[in-house]
Amino acid sequence: MRCLVMKRCNRTREKFLTEGNTEGSNDKKCLVSIIIPVFNQLAYTKECIGSLLETLTLYRHDSEVILVDNGSTDGTGDYLKTLPDYFKVITNQQNLGFARACNLGAAAARGDFLVFLNNDTVALPGWLGQMLNVMEKEEQVGIVGSKLLFPDGTIQHAGVVVAAAPYPISPYHAYYQQPGDLPAANKMRDYQAVTGACLLIKRDLFVAVGAFDEDFINGYEDVDLCFKVRQQGYRVVYCPTSVLYHHQSVSEGRADYNYHNTVLLHQKWLGIIKPDVP
């Protein structure tokens, strides 16, 4: 089973390293690249970008935002063309899925750190600085995840717990829909995984573990990435002081791939990953 995981990592890493850069990008390094896959949902995308413009002031000269448009048909493409040069845009002619879009964005990134961010999130002040502080000050951290709240203030994500039912590997969001000020959700802690809706990782580590596995189709790519990082001896840490709102919109047809993604997750990790709870 471990050989299967390594083969997938090597295959995806080779593909990642051969990807081209976005038009107009250069070789100048920066601290962090924020990668946002986009498919329609123009109103959410505008809100997300507006929140980034408000919250990235301290990092404006040491960061970049890369938007990967997965063949949007609702005017998103035209809107993205109006953004300032700080925003890099990759345009796909069709929807290539979350994992592929993220990998394309990462291949074009110049940052030492990568943030993968959903386009239906709204960043709150300090979100990025808090994540970077954990990455830089804590020992052996490979991935940092944020606290995500629904618009009503309840918890959407505060880490991912792995249960042993209904399937041997059954990830779920901790403290889901609990009050946002729940004390247990306001403590930094290690998890086996965090959501890819807002995830920070070192670029070199992302490449080393093979990036996102594109065999997953809009589900469990983030969990799989976290598992791979932990297998390399790194920690996956939940940072409750990095806070964003998340509308958690559902991608069209996503449920159609639940069985496929669950089977693939078990093919890769059954017998390796130990559940946190029965």
Dump pLDDT digits (tens) for 220-235. Answer: 999 999 999 999 999 9
Which positions ≥6 away from 97 have C-beta within 8 Å?
A: 70, 214, 217, 218
Give the pLDDT confidence score for residue 230 in this predicted structure: 98
The CATH number of 2-269 is: 3.90.550.10
Say if residue 57's pLDDT is above 50.
yes
Tell me the CA distances in angstroms from 62 to 12, 28, 184, one per residue in order.
28, 10, 34
Q: Between vectors from CA 154 to CA 187 and to CA 138, what angle results, nearest 5°? A: 25
Quote the pTM value: 0.90
Say if residue 18's pLDDT is above 90.
no
How many Å apart are CA 110 and CA 167, to the nearest integer? Answer: 39
Say if residue 24's pLDDT is above 80.
no
Give the pLDDT confidence score for residue 17 in this predicted structure: 45
Say if residue 7's pLDDT is above 60.
no
Q: Evaluate whether 175 touches 274 at the Cβ level (below 8 Å).
A: no
Q: Which two tokens stand for residue 174?
A: 């901790």
Angle subtended by helix axes 98-107 and 2-17, to nearest 10: 50
Nearest to 71 by CA among 98, 91, 99: 91
Backbone angles phi, psi at 200, to 5 degrees: -110, 135
pLDDT band for position 23 (cuts 50, 70, 90): very low
Give the pLDDT confidence score for residue 27 in this predicted structure: 61
Angle subtended by helix axes 98-107 and 221-231, to nearest 10: 50
Q: What is the mean pLDDT of residues 191-213?
A: 98
Which positions ≥6 away from 117 have C-beta within 8 Å?
A: 34, 35, 36, 48, 123, 197, 198
pLDDT band for position 61 (cuts 50, 70, 90): confident
Say if residue 4's pLDDT is above 50.
no
pLDDT band for position 112 (cuts 50, 70, 90): very high
Q: Which of 111-115, 194-198, 255-259 has the lowest mean pLDDT?
A: 255-259
**Ranked by mean pLDDT, which of 20-24, 142-146, 246-250 comes out on top?**
142-146
Mean model confidence pLDDT for the chain? 91
